Structure 1
Amino acid sequence: MQKIVTNIWSNRNAEEAGAFYAGVFPNARSWVESRYPFEGLLEFQQGLAGEPLTVGVDIDGERITLINAGDEFAPNPSVSLMLNFDPLDFDGDAVAARAQLDTIWEAFADGGSVLMPLQEYPFSARYGWVQDRYGVSWQLMLTDPEGDPRPFLIPALMFGGPVQNRAAAAVDRYLEVFEDTELGQRVPYGQPTGPANEDAVMFSDFRIGEQWFMAMDSGVEQDFSFTCGMSLEARCEDQAEIDRLWEALSAVPAAEQCGWLVDAFGMNWQIVPKNMGELMERPNAFQHLMPMKKIIISDI
């Protein structure tokens, strides 16, 4: 089971976006996972009755979820999705790896916006950062095959604005809270760079279970930070694990709703049972869930 799933808030177009991503990546697929009920909706949800609620997307074995809602939130580059194009995954053919990188880049750039141009950088022979037509940010990198192996898709957290220079503290906390964790690389800036101080994190990665994540402090001033537009969904084995993670992570009581919380570093989490889809098939499950803060499985 994938322990943590990246969730993306979509403005009434989750099914369309899922189909787009499934068409961009080889061996990817999307599907409607759940739908809004016809009864028990809040006033702002009335127009979504019967429409998709969550759309699942599988990209090279990594699951992401699109939340079909309104325009209350939107993704921003504080959370992006890193794509590693490793020549070893193409039988050592760097030309083929680069060609697939360029093809996917073109699909994302069409109707999107370029945040860092696709070109050679000191850390990669080919890298670019792009925000696609749905507002989701992607980093595409041709990977050095001699480096430590990493998955194709890695969620990346950028700490800026009110959480500037807190990447190391956040990662240390996540390594402490979750089970079976590992710190990979951690590279400091070494000198003040924009709002980043010399001890701030220029690059780091860490593992939770079988999944890898990236974290860094922004080296330029940012007018955005983490929101519900991109959240991390932690799938729990039972109520005891829900209780433990909720107690360890929740730091903003006013943000607690329907299993959502905000941690001390501004990151938005959903702490849910691993069989949430099955539970939501119970009679009146949606109505039972909506008033909850922390999810109580027995009350759904």
Structure 2
Amino acid sequence: MTRISTHIMFQGQGVEALNLYASTFPDFKILAREDYGADDMGPAGTIKLATIEFNGAILQVIDSPIPHAFDLTPSMSLFVDCDSEDELTWVFATLSEGGEVMMPLDNYGFSQRFGWCRDRFGLSWQINLP
């Protein structure tokens, strides 16, 4: 094995999700991206496959060309350690806007502050200040 990556499947909102993550994480990079074309299986302009990197994590993102009855679940989250209270507050507010706060920012005893949310695309985030 050479690498294990997180693979995230959106249902038509991949481009919008990447834009949110690019505006949230200063070191966000698209390492590779291929979109569906007019003659492809998926809607033109949606993501066939993108490889992204931020905060040391490499993720693969697709827009499924086939509708599925299932979607993302909070049982799998991206866990982000922040460097400051300001960064924690901003990242949490940005990602939770239009989504769902599952645990508001607070001290739960295992770190200085922690919050858990789902962004408006359904991806679960645990935001932490160690």
TM-score by length of 2: 0.85
**Deviation (angstroms), 1:74:** 1.4
Could you say which residue in structure 1 is the equivalent of 2:112? 125
2:81/2:127 contact within 8 Å kept: yes
Question: Which of 73, 76, 80 is equivalent to 2:73?
Answer: 76
Alpha-carbon distance in 1 for matches of 2:13, 2:32: 12
Alignment partner of 1:99 is 2:86: yes
Larger Rg, first or second structure (1 or 2): 1
More helix, by proportion: 1
CA distance in 2, matches of 1:71, 1:137: 20
Match of 1:111 among 98, 107, 128: 98
The one of 59, 62, 76 aligned to 1:64: 59
Which of residues 25, 48, 54 is equivalent to 1:53? 48
Corresponding position: 1:139 with 2:129: no
Percent identity of equivalent pairs:
31
Opposite residue 18 of structure 2, the aligned amino acid is G
CA distance in 1, matches of 2:61, 2:31: 10
Q: Write the letter of the residue equivalent to 1:18.
A: L
Any unmatched runs of 5+ in structure 1?
A: 88-96, 144-300
Q: Which runs of 5+ in 2 are unaligned?
A: none
Q: Could you tell me how far apart the structure 2 residues matched to 1:118 and 1:71 are? A: 34
TM-score norm. by structure 1 comes to 0.39
CA contact (8 A) 1:114 1:129 kept: yes
Q: How many residues align?
A: 128
Q: 1:50 to 1:17 in 2, by over 3 A?
A: closer
Runs of 4 or more consecutive aligned structure 1 residues displaced over 6 Å after TM superposition: none
Shift of 1:55: 2.2
Measured after TM superposition, the shift of residue 71 of structure 1 is 3.6
Describe how 1:215-234 pairs up with structure 2 within 5 A. none
Amino acid at match of 2:3: K
Name which structure has the greater RCO, CA cutoff 8 Å, separation 6+: 2
What are the superposed Cα offsets for residues 107-143 of structure 1, whole Å, 9 maximum, x if unpaired? 0111010111111111112001100001000001111
